[in-house]
Structure 1
Amino acid sequence: MKEKILDKSAEMFITLGFKSVTMDDIALSLGISKKTIYQHFKNKGDLVDSAVFHLSESICEGIDYICEVSNNPIEELFHIKKFVSDYLKDEKSSPHFQLKKYYPGTYNRLLRKQFEMMQDCVTENIKKGIKCGMFRKEVGIDFVSRIYFSGMIGIKDEDIFPPDIFSQSDLKSKYLEYHIRAIATEKGIEVLKEFINENKD
């Protein structure tokens, strides 16, 4: 039952927002009593924290799988972007903003976990790109992996990128292209152009 509560809660928080969803809403959607939820979680804050890291773990597993089966570092980045966007419903409810505002402790812990995970992922991606000649050998891997993370967090800032002007999906695609062009060789640029042309809507 705990797993079901986590799955449903995470889905509702992402779709409707962390602030909007109540314990009553979750209980009703699962057809259980609120008391059942409290048998597993102390309060809403505890449930939010558990659901966020449950979701994060699932996303990390998916990303690890994509990295394992991918031979093309440029396509890998776009596949990860699509996987995360689909998983988070393209973040239409601004979960990042709501989590930061209403559950700052959970947000800060998640940010540290995301940094560690993304730095490992991007570091391996860059090494893979250098090995196959798509990324430049002189790229400062540690610097680029940190800049990449900083940028991915930055494009979620709704004051800088208002959601009525910029969609998260479009922002991520533009940022990915920006990142790849900054570190790619001529071969990498051609692979990028080819991938973008083949995947136009």
Structure 2
Amino acid sequence: MKDKIIEKANDMFLNFGFKSVTMDDLATEMGISKKTIYTHFQNKTELIMATTDYLFCNISCGIDAIVEQKTGPIEELYEIKAFVMKHLKDEKTSPQYQLQKYYPKIYKTLKVKQFELMQDCVIENLDRGIKKGVFRKNIDIQFISRIYFNGIIGIKDQEMFPIHIFPMTQLMADYLEYHVRGIATEKGLEILNNLLIKE
């Protein structure tokens, strides 16, 4: 039952927002009593911690599977973006922004985990891209990996990028293109332009 509660809560939080969904809403949606939820989770904060862990693990496993396929470095970035956006329901409710605003401790813990995951993934991607001749040889991998992570976090700031002006799917697409154009060789730009035609 605990896993079912986490799965349903995750789905509802991503669709309606961490703040909007109450324990009553979740109980009603699942057709169970609130008491049943409270036997597994002391409060909503504990449930949110469990759902963010669940989502993080799912996304980490999915990214690992994409990386293992060893497709081209630029193609890999676009596959990861599509996978993450699908799992975050295109970020309609800006989950990261809501966590930061209403559950800052959970957000801080999650951000550290995201950074560690992304660092490994992005550094490997950049390194492979240089070896394959799609990224420039003179880029500073440590700097680029950190600036890329910082940008991903930064564009989710709704005060800076209001969602009614910058829909998240478009914002992520624009940011990824910006990232790749900044480091790509002629060969890399050709791959990017072909991918953009298909998008």
Report what 2:70 is aligned to: 70
- TM-score, length basis structure 2: 0.97
**1:163 counterpart SS class:** coil
Report what 1:61 is aligned to: 61
Report what 2:135 is aligned to: 135
Report what 2:6 is aligned to: 6
Report what 1:104 is aligned to: 104
| Residues 112-148 of structure 1 deviation map (CA, whole Å, 9 limit, x = unaligned) | 1111111111011111111211111221111100000
Q: How does 1:49-198 map to 2 (within 5 A)?
A: 49-198=49-198
Which deviates more from structure 2 when the two are superposed, residues 28-37 or residues 142-151? 28-37
**1:161 counterpart SS class:** coil
Report what 1:39 is aligned to: 39
- Alpha-carbon separation, structure 2, partners of 1:114 and 1:21: 24
Which amino acid is the alignment partner of residue 93 of structure 1?
T
Structure 1 stretches lacking a partner, 5+ long: none
**1:157 counterpart SS class:** coil
- Alpha-carbon separation, structure 2, partners of 1:62 and 1:144: 23
Which amino acid is the alignment partner of residue 93 of structure 2?
S
| Residues 41-78 of structure 1 deviation map (CA, whole Å, 9 limit, x = unaligned) | 11111001111111111011111111111321101111
| Residues 61-102 of structure 1 deviation map (CA, whole Å, 9 limit, x = unaligned) | 111111111321101111111111111111111222211111
- Alpha-carbon separation, structure 2, partners of 1:126 and 1:94: 28
**1:39 counterpart SS class:** helix
Which amino acid is the alignment partner of residue 48 of structure 1?
I
Which amino acid is the alignment partner of residue 190 of structure 1?
E
**2:40 counterpart SS class:** coil
- Alpha-carbon separation, structure 1, partners of 2:90 and 2:71: 26
Which amino acid is the alignment partner of residue 41 of structure 1?
F
Q: CA deviation at 1:198?
A: 2.5
Structure 2 stretches lacking a partner, 5+ long: none
1:17 aligns with 2:23: no
Number of equivalenced pairs? 199
- The percentage of aligned residue pairs carrying the same residue is 56
- TM-score, length basis structure 1: 0.96
| Residues 135-162 of structure 1 deviation map (CA, whole Å, 9 limit, x = unaligned) | 1122111110000000001111111111
